[in-house]
A = this chain, B = another copy of it.
Amino acid sequence: MSDLHWKSAITKVEPNKLSVRGYKLDELMGEVSYAQMVYLLFKGEMPSKNVGKMIETILVSSVDHGTTPPSVLSALTVASTGAPLNASVAAGILSISKFHGGAIEDCMHILKQGMEIVKAENKSLQEAAVQIITEYRSIKKRLSGFGHRVHTNDPRTVKLFKIANELGVAGDYVKLAQAFVTALKETTGKDLPLNVDGAIAALLCEMDFDPILANAFFMIARVPGLVSHIYEEKTRQKPMRKIHPTDVEYDGPEGKSL
């Protein structure tokens, strides 16, 4: 034992035995989902099947959003220079930052602040929402999680909340997020629907995740998407092409259903 001895509570590695958070890994294989493993790794406890299902739905909702997000464009730019897959993915990950993905964490802080007001000041969800909106407007700060540059009624948000209700995950944070939409309409006169970042923020609050892990869910969801774009770049395009950020046409299959 050296003077640099340290401790970790995540995975125990012994010859022919691997345990994650106290569970033998081979016993988990085939029994629990990848989404449950994410929860187990982050929180140290095995979630219920329903909570696992909620996380899985969040991940599925965010696997890809086409070619225009900066994470895809930085990944493709690097891939186009002949860099290996992992370096291209890393460049994509470096784009998942304050203005791209960061809204989930920002919105979690807003919702947690709202819930604090509800509890500490004995106010309604609606009153708490109005109070925060007023505060943000007075300092001209944008409320993360509301409004979208493409979608006015994001189908992912609708479905996330529908499933959250079915799974018993939806609670006061989901109600608070919806109270914000009503309060925004009243205060600003504008329809600023909850976007997918806001919906995920509410659900991560329901499952009591630390806001600094918010971006992790977005990264985990997007890695397969990034890989598929990098693979398409490497197999379909010429190296060093000039990548236009918007003049791109979808030419894949249409209208498939399960």
Contacts and interface: CB of A to CB of B under 8 A. Distances in A.
Interface of A: 1-2, 4-13, 15-35, 37-38, 41-42, 44, 46, 53, 56-57, 59-61, 63-68, 70-71, 73-74, 77-78, 80-91, 93-102, 150-156, 158-160, 162-163, 210, 212-213, 215-216, 219-221, 223-225, 227-229, 231-232, 234, 237, 239-258
Contact of A216 (B41, B64, B91, B224): B224
B20 A64 contact: yes
A4 to B, nearest CB: 4
Given A4-B245, A5-B247, A87-B97, A232 B34 contact: no
Q: Which applies to chain A's interface (DSSP): helix, strand, loop or mixed? A: mixed
Nearest to A32: B60
Give the number of copies in the complex: 4
Given A4-B245, A219-B89, A57 B78 contact: no
A118 B83 CA distance: 34
A229 to B, nearest CB: 6
B78 A97 contact: yes
A22 to B, nearest CB: 4
A163 B30 contact: yes
A89 B71 CA distance: 14
A254 B10 contact: no
Nearest to A237: B6
The 4 closest A-B pairs by CB, nearest first: A82-B98, A9-B252, A22-B253, A22-B256
A86 to B, nearest CB: 5
Contacts of A2: 2, 244, 247
A24 B22 CA distance: 39
